[in-house]
């Protein structure tokens, strides 16, 4: 059984993201043009190694700096929210990530600079961010690999729905480092090939990207609503899904019920791996027959724990402008005929289902619709 649906009235009152293309509007525009941010980059940064597709923020090296390069990037992203009283009991913050400051811990081990270790754990990285941004101490920290952002959104929705908060800021970020790229390269899913999500080809591959996104959830306001959210954890294998696709079907079932037959489009996880791509696209086609499916990780790379919020911000931009970017970097044949390779117009769609997956067979899905 999947996680419970949060129905009703949690509004998305602010949402934006940061990718190598810029904010959500710039990222949405670049994806509509079919641009790829991924570039061949040595997998171990300054230490070299195989060239793999990475999408780093402009001017940012893979090796972490001191202070960490992600700090000013997040300051810029969150500047519009400055002075909002965040981190208090009534305006708490949920920070979600898979890697937090792990690049600093890698740099500490590589070079022995103790100052790098000072923000190498989830808590110390968030504490550096909290102090820099002037937040209060009411900050929850969630970390569940690539569904991390979905947990923050669901927890924030529950705080709002219970009246325990008037607004909640959810932040998701992950910035690449040799720790992460080296790990995925060791798993043999990050290789020289560019990712082609949902394309039926001989070899699967992913790309990785820097990414951050935020959302402000409130009981009123805004033009978009999170009308359903769902989680499911297969606990079948660390790096593989159940071969029958049951995990994908389980997380989608409550969202199907909440959709109530409305016409939707689908933003899938779609990293570029073959088996997961096949299972996910098949499950989505069964759950939402005929609904067009896109993934943007062929351009942005997989932004790991932040992907749920980065892609939510782009999806929100697509809903507002009425134009959805296609599955950049992929071609025919695709696993299902519902995969949209080119941009399409969305004025007749009621909303979008956004899905993410993670290690351990973890799944998150949500329904974002016009208020």
Partner 1 sequence: MLERFLQAVRTDDPGAEAPAATRDRLKACFAPGAVRRMTQLGLLVGGVLRDLAPGPDDTLVYATQFGESRALEGFLESFPTPSPTLFQTSIHPSGVQQGLIGRQQAVPELFPLAGGPQLVAQAVLAALLAPAPRVVLCGGEERGTWLVAPGAASDRAFAFALALTRHREAGTQGRLALEPTADPAGTLALADWFDLLHAHRGYTGHVAPGWRLQLEWS
| DSSP collapsed to 3 states, 48-81 | CCCEEEEECCCCCCCCCCCCCCHHHHHHHHHHHH
Say whether residue 142 binds partner 1 (CB under 8 A).
yes
- Choose among 356, 361, 2, 367: nearest CA to 148: 356
> Smallest gap, in angstroms, from Cβ of residue 233 to partner 1?
4
Query: H or E element: which one contains 161?
Result: helix 148-161
3-state SS, residue 91: coil
| x-or-dash string of contact with partner 1, 202-231, rule CB under 8 A | -----------------------------x
Phi/psi at 168 (5° precision): -130, 135
Say whether residue 258 binds partner 1 (CB under 8 A).
no
- What residues from 285 to 344 belong to the interface with partner 1 (CB under 8 A)? none
Q: How many helices (H) and strands (E) does the chain have?
A: 11, 15
| DSSP collapsed to 3 states, 115-127 | HHHCCCCHHHHHH
Say whether residue 235 binds partner 1 (CB under 8 A).
yes
Rounded CA gap, 121 and 178, in Å? 16
| x-or-dash string of contact with partner 1, 45-84, rule CB under 8 A | --x-x-----------------------------------
Question: Binding residue for partner 1 (CB under 8 A) from 39, 60, 158, 201?
Answer: 158
Question: Binding residue for partner 1 (CB under 8 A) from 17, 32, 105, 316?
Answer: 105
Say whether residue 174 binds partner 1 (CB under 8 A).
no
Would you tell me how many other CB atoms lie within 10 Å of the CB of residue 10? 25
Phi-psi region of 112 (alpha: psi -120 to 50; beta: other; left: phi over 0): left
Say whether residue 88 binds partner 1 (CB under 8 A).
yes
Rounded CA gap, 276 and 270, in Å? 8
Stretch touching partner 1 by CB under 8 A, among 24-32, 65-73, 236-244, 321-329: 236-244
Say whether residue 253 binds partner 1 (CB under 8 A).
no
Say whether residue 166 binds partner 1 (CB under 8 A).
no
> Smallest gap, in angstroms, from Cβ of residue 89 to partner 1?
2
- Choose among 207, 168, 215, 209: nearest CA to 313: 215
Question: Binding residue for partner 1 (CB under 8 A) from 51, 76, 82, 187?
Answer: 187
Which chain residues interact with partner 1 by CB under 8 A?
A: 1-4, 44, 47, 49, 87-90, 98, 100, 105-106, 108-110, 114, 117-118, 120-124, 126-127, 136-145, 151, 155, 158-159, 162, 164, 178-179, 182-188, 231-239, 247, 250, 359-360, 362
């Amino acid at each position: 059984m999947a996680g419970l649906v949060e129905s009703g009235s949690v509004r998305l009152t602010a949402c934006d993201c940061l990718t190598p293309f810029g904010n959500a509007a710039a990222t949405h525009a670049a994806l509509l043009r079919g641009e790829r941010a991924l570039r061949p980059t040595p997998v171990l940064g300054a230490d070299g190694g195989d060239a793999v597709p990475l999408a780093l923020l402009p001017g940012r090296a893979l090796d972490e700096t001191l202070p960490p390069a992600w700090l000013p990037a997040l300051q810029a992203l969150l500047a519009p929210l400055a002075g909002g009283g965040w981190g208090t009991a009534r305006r708490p913050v949920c920070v979600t990530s898979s890697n937090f400051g792990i690049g600093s811990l890698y740099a500490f081990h590589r070079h022995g600079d103790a100052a790098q270790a000072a923000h190498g754990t989830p808590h110390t990285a968030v504490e550096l961010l909290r102090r820099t941004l002037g937040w209060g101490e009411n900050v929850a920290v969630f970390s569940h690999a690539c569904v991390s952002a979905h947990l923050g959104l669901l927890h924030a929705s529950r705080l709002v729905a219970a009246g325990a908060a008037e607004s909640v800021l959810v932040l998701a970020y992950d910035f690449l480092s040799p720790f992460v790229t080296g790990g995925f390269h060791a798993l043999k899913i990050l290789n020289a090939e560019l990712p082609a999500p949902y394309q039926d080809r001989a070899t699967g591959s992913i790309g990785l990207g820097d990414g951050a996104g935020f959302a402000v959830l409130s009981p009123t306001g805004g033009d978009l609503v999170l009308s359903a959210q769902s989680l499911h954890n297969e606990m079948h294998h660390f790096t593989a899904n159940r071969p029958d696709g049951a995990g994908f079907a389980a997380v989608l079932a409550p969202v199907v019920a909440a959709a109530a037959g409305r016409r939707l489009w689908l933003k899938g996880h779609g990293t570029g791996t073959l088996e997961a791509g096949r299972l996910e696209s098949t499950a989505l086609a069964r759950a939402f027959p005929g609904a067009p499916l896109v993934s943007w990780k062929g351009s942005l790379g997989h932004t790991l724990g932040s992907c749920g919020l980065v892609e939510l911000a782009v999806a929100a931009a697509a809903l507002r402008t009425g134009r959805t970017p296609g599955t950049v970097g992929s071609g025919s044949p695709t696993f299902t005929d519902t995969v949209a390779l080119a941009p399409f117009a969305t004025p007749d769609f009621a909303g979008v289902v956004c899905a993410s997956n993670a290690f351990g067979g973890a799944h998150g899905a949500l329904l974002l619709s016009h208020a």
